[in-house]
C-alpha cells in the first residue's frame, strides 16, 4: 500500500498548493488502512492480508475530482521515470534478498526478511543526496516531482498530531454517475482482492480458502470501502497485492505480525510529520519494489498449474492458445490504430491478461469437461475437500473466528 499512499501526493498542484490537505489525506489513508487491516484479520478472512488503498479507484477518483463541478483544479501530472534512482533500488533489493543470504549465512534470515528496509534506506539517502546536491535543479517538472525527496512545503504544512475522523472534509454529496463509476471500480477491486486473498493464503502456508471464508473476507472489504468513504481517503480499499508479494519475500506469514503492523500504522498516522516524511519516498523506489513484489504474486498464480496435467495435449492447447491470442489480439488493435489513425476498439487500456484469461476460462469449461479423466487433467480433484469449511480439519486453525464467534456465525 506504500505506492497508493504516496501516489496521493502527486494528485493535485505541483506548485505547493494544498500541501496541508495532501498531508491530511496521507494521514487518513494510513489510519484507515490500519483500522481495516485489523478488522479483516480479526473478523474477515483471518489471513495476514493488509487492506489499503487500491490503484483500481485512482482513475475514477481523479475523473471525479477533475469533473466540471471541481473545475478549479489543475490537471494531474504523470509520474516520470527516474532511472538513476529506480535502477539502483531494483538491483540492490534483488542483491540483498537473493544473493546476500547465501553469502552471509547468519542463520536468522536477517537479509531476506529486512531486504526492503535495508535497500529503501540506502537508496532513499542516495536520492536525498542527489536532491540536496542540486542534480534536479532546473529539470522538467515531471522529473522533479518523481525524483526529488524534499516535497517542498509538505512536511512544514503537516500538523504534529492529528486524529482523522469521519466527514472531516464536510458533508458528503451525491451524484448518480459518480456513484455508478465507483460501483464499477469496486467490482474490479473485488476481482483483484480475490486473487490477492488466494496469493496471501498460499504464501502464509494456509489451506485453500473455502468459498464461505472468501465471501466473508469480501464482505469485510465492503465494510472497508464504506469506512474509506466515511473518512474521506480519496480512494477505496482492497487487499494489498504488493503486501502479498512481501509475504513471499520475507517468508513471514504471521497474522499477529500483520496485526501489530496495523497498530503501528494507526499510531504513526496520528503523527502528521511522519506521514509527510513517508510521502517523500521517490516514486522510482516504490516502482522498483513493485517489480519484485508483483513477480512473486504472478509466480504464485502460475504455480497453481502444478495441479494440472501439463503433459495433456488439452492442457497444452488451452495454455498456449490463450497466451498467444492474449498477446496477438491487443497487438492487432494497436497496429490497426497506429496505421489508420483510428481503430474498431480503442480504450487506452492493456487487454493482454483480460483476453488470455477469458479465453482460457471459456476453453477450459467447454472442452470435454464432463469426462472423468479430463477432470483430473484440470486438477479439480485436488480442491474437492476445500469446497466446504469442514472439508479439511485445518480450516478451523486458519479461518475460525475469535472469541468463540463461530458458535453464532458458523462457516459452511
pLDDT tens, 45-73?
Answer: 999 999 988 877 877 777 766 654 444 43
- Confidence bin at 200 (pLDDT 50/70/90): very high
Q: For residues 59 and 319, what is the distance between their CA atoms, to the nearest angstrom?
A: 32
- Gap between the Cα atoms of 288 and 203, Å rounded: 21
Judged by average pLDDT, the poorest of 201-210, 246-255, 400-409 is 400-409
CA angle 375, 208, 41 (to 5 degrees): 155
Q: Considering the domain boundaries, does residue 12 fall inside one?
A: yes
Q: Classify residue 395: in a domain, yes or no.
A: no
Is pLDDT at 221 greater than 90 in this prediction?
yes
pLDDT value at position 15?
47
Per-residue pLDDT for 400 more than 50?
A: yes
Indicate whether 270 and 360 sit together in one domain: no
pLDDT single digits (tens) 166-176: 998 888 888 88
Say what the pLDDT of residue 19 is: 65
CA distance 387 to 37: 26
Please state, in angstroms and as integers, the Cα–Cα distance from residue 204 to each residue in 271, 301, 338, following that order. Answer: 31, 14, 45
Q: 232 with 65: CB under 8 angstroms?
A: no
Domain assignment present for residue 283? The answer is yes
- Whether 77 has a pLDDT exceeding 60, the answer reads no
Dihedral through CA 113, CA 116, CA 119, CA 122, nearest 10? Answer: -110
Rounded mean pLDDT, 199-206: 90
Locus of grid cell 474509506: 228
SS3 271: strand
On the question of pLDDT at 271 being above 80, the answer is yes
CA 120 to chain centre: 18
User: Same domain, yes or no, for 150 and 266?
Assistant: yes
Residue 387: inside a domain:
no
Regarding whether 218 and 160 lie in a shared domain, the answer is yes
Average pLDDT over residues 350-366: 86
pLDDT reported for residue 225 = 92
Residues 126 and 201 placed together within one structural domain of the fold = yes
In a domain, 209, yes or no: yes
Q: Which three cell numbers stand for residue 205?
A: 502456508
User: At 80, is the pLDDT very low, low, confident or very high (cuts 50, 70, 90)?
Assistant: very low
Find the mean pLDDT for residues 332-342: 75
Q: Are residues 41 and 110 in the same domain?
A: yes
Q: Give the range of the structural domain holding residue 44, as residue numbers without chain letter.
A: 2-300
- pTM for this structure? 0.82
The total number of structural domains in the chain stands at 2
Residues 267, 362 within the same domain:
no
Q: What's residue 16's pLDDT?
A: 47
How far is CA 4 from each of CA 8, 22, 82, 309, 393, rounded to the nearest angstrom?
A: 7, 13, 18, 39, 38
In this structure, the answer to whether residues 162 and 282 fall within a common structural domain is yes
Instruction: Please report the sign of the dihedral spanned by the C-alpha atoms of residue 238, residue 241, residue 242, residue 247.
Output: positive
272 and 367 part of one domain: no
Please say whether the beta carbons of 281 and 149 come within 8 A: yes
Q: Are residues 314 and 290 in the same domain?
A: no
d(CA 34, CA 20) in angstroms, rounded, equals 22
How buried is residue 159: exposed, middle or buried, by Cβ count under 10 Å (0-12/13-18/19+)? Answer: middle
Does the residue 386 lie in any domain? no
Answer for the pair 236, 243: CB distance below 8 angstroms, yes or no. no
Q: In the predicted model, is pLDDT for residue 214 greater than 50?
A: yes
327 and 207 both lie in a single domain: no
Cβ-proximal residues to 296 (8 Å cutoff; 6+ apart), any chain: 199, 203, 244, 245, 248, 249
Per the prediction, the chain carries an average pLDDT of 81
Residue 188 lies in a domain: yes
Confidence at residue 69, expressed as pLDDT on a 0 to 100 scale: 47
Asked if the structure places residue 393 within a domain, the reply is no
140 plus 6 within the same structural domain:
yes
CA distance 143 to 138: 10
Residue 76 has pLDDT above 60, yes or no: no
Least confident of 10-14, 149-153, 342-346: 10-14
**For the chain, percent of residues with pLDDT exceeding 70:** 86
My answer on whether 273 and 335 are in the same domain is no
Percent above pLDDT 90 for the chain: 17
Question: Among 223-232, 249-258, 339-348, which is the least confidently predicted range?
Answer: 339-348
Amino acid at each position: 500500500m506504500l505506492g497508493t499512499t504516496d501516489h496521493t501526493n502527486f494528485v493535485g498542484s505541483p506548485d505547493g498548493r494544498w500541501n496541508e490537505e495532501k498531508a491530511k489525506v496521507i494521514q487518513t489513508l494510513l489510519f484507515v488502512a490500519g483500522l481495516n487491516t485489523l478488522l479483516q484479520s480479526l473478523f474477515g478472512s483471518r489471513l495476514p492480508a493488509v487492506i489499503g488503498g487500491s490503484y483500481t479507484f485512482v482513475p475514477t477518483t481523479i475523473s471525479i475530482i477533475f469533473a466540471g463541478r471541481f473545475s478549479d483544479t489543475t490537471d494531474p501530472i504523470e509520474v516520470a521515470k527516474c532511472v538513476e534512482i529506480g535502477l539502483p533500488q531494483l538491483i540492490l533489493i534483488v542483491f540483498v534478498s537473493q544473493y546476500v543470504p547465501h553469502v552471509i549465512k547468519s542463520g536468522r534470515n536477517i537479509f531476506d526478511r529486512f531486504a526492503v528496509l535495508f535497500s529503501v534506506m540506502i537508496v532513499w539517502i542516495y536520492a536525498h543526496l542527489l536532491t540536496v546536491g542540486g542534480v534536479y535543479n532546473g529539470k522538467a517538472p515531471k522529473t522533479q516531482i518523481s525524483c526529488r525527496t524534499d516535497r517542498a512545503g509538505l512536511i512544514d504544512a503537516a500538523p504534529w498530531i492529528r486524529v482523522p475522523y469521519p466527514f472531516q472534509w464536510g458533508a458528503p454529496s451525491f451524484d448518480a454517475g459518480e456513484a455508478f463509476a465507483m460501483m464499477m471500480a469496486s467490482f474490479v477491486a473485488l476481482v483483484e482482492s480475490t486473487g490477492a486473498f488466494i496469493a496471501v493464503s498460499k504464501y502464509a502456508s494456509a489451506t485453500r480458502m473455502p468459498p464461505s471464508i472468501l465471501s466473508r473476507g469480501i464482505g469485510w472489504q465492503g465494510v472497508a470501502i464504506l469506512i474509506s468513504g466515511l473518512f474521506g481517503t480519496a480512494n477505496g480499499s482492497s487487499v494489498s497485492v504488493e503486501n502479498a508479494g512481501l509475504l513471499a519475500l520475507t517468508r513471514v506469514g504471521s497474522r499477529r505480525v500483520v496485526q501489530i503492523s496495523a497498530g503501528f500504522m494507526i499510531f504513526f498516522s496520528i503523527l502528521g510529520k511522519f506521514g509527510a516524511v513517508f510521502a517523500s519516498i521517490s516514486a522510482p523506489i516504490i516502482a522498483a519494489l513493485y517489480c519484485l513484489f508483483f513477480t512473486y504474486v504472478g509466480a504464485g498464480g502460475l504455480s497453481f498449474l502444478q495441479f494440472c496435467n501439463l503433459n495433456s495435449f488439452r492442457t497444452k492447447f488451452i495454455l498456449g492458445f490463450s497466451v498467444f491470442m492474449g498477446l496477438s489480439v491487443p497487438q492487432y488493435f494497436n497496429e490497426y490504430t497506429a496505421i489508420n489513425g483510428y481503430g474498431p476498439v480503442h480504450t487506452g487500456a492493456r487487454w493482454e491478461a483480460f483476453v488470455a484469461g477469458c479465453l482460457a476460462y471459456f476453453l477450459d469449461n467447454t472442452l470435454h469437461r464432463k469426462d472423468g479423466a479430463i477432470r483430473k487433467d484440470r486438477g479439480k480433484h485436488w480442491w474437492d475437500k476445500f469446497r466446504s469449511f469442514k472439508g479439511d480439519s485445518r480450516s478451523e486453525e486458519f479461518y475460525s473466528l475469535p472469541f468463540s464467534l463461530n458458535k453464532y456465525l458458523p462457516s459452511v
